Amino acid sequence: MLLVLDVGNTTTVVGIYKGESLLKHWRLVSERHTSDELGIYLLNLMDISGIPRESIGGAVYSSVVPALDMPLDEGLREYLGVKPVKVSASLDLGIEIAYSPRHEVGADRLVNSVAGKARYGAPLIVVDFGTAITLDILNAEGAYLGGTISPGLVTGMEALFGRTAKLPQVSLEPPKSVIGNNTIGSIQAGIMFGNAGLVDRLVTRTWGELGARTRVVATGGHAASIAALSETITDVDPWLTLEGLRLIHERNSPR
C-alpha cells in the first residue's frame, strides 16, 4: 500500500492507496509537530482504520510548509520504515514545466496538474480551493504554463472579520440569493458568489489567451460549493491531489 500526504498551509490531506484504489483519506489541521508526534499520529489513524503498518510499502508527499518537511520525512522513516518521495520540479513528473524559475512552482500545483492531465487530458484548467485559490493551466500539448493565485475563501473571510468589529462569523454555504436580506446572508453572498465570479472571470480570460475553451476541474475543500455557483467549472474532483501524488510516486519509485 502507498501512503500519500498533501501538506498545505491550513490542512493536510492524507490518503492510503492499494494499487490504483483510494482506500482511506483524512483531512487534518496542519500544525507544527516533531517527527515522533507525526509518526504516532499516522500510526493511530492507520490503527483505527485497521491498516497494519507493515502493509505500507511506500510514501510520497507534497508540501508548501517547509517547517514540516524534515519532521515528516523523519517520522515516515522511523515509524513506518519507508523512504518517502518528496515532490519537486526536479522529479520526473511526465509533464513539461514552462515556468521560470521551475523551483518556484508550488508542489501542490504540480501534483494537481499531473493528475489533471492524466484524468482529463489537455488543454485543461485546474482550480484548487485551499488557503489560496489557484488556477493551474495546461496548454494543448500538456505543458504546465502557470496560472493565478488569489486569497482563499477562509483567508478572505478571516481578513474581513479581523478588520470589522460587528460582523458575525458565518458558515461558508451558498445562499439562496445574491441579495442578502440579513447580515449573514449578505456575507455568504459576497464570499460565495464573489469567489465564483472571481474564478469565472479568470477562466474566461485564460480561455481568451489560450484561444480555446477547456475543461475546468475544481478540487479542494470548497470545490463543490463554488462549482454549484460557477458558470465555467465542468468537473469536481475532491481527491485529485492525492491521485497526482500516487502517479508521481509510480514514476519515481524504484521498481
- The set of catalytic residues is 108
Gyration radius (Cα) of the chain, Å? 19
241: left (phi over 0), alpha (psi -120 to 50) or beta: alpha
Which three three-digit cell numbers place residue 250? 509510480
Q: Record the cell numbers describing residue 190, joined without a space.
A: 459576497
Instruction: Kindly give the interhelix angle for 153-162 and 183-210, rounded to the nearest 10 degrees.
Output: 140
Q: What angle do CA 91, 95, 100 make, to 5 degrees?
A: 75
Give me the residue label for grid cell 520504515: 81
**Most distant CA atoms of the chain, gap in Å:** 60
Vertex 244: Cα angle to 241 and 245 (nearest 5):
90
Q: Is 62 helix (H, G, I), strand (E, B) or coil?
A: strand
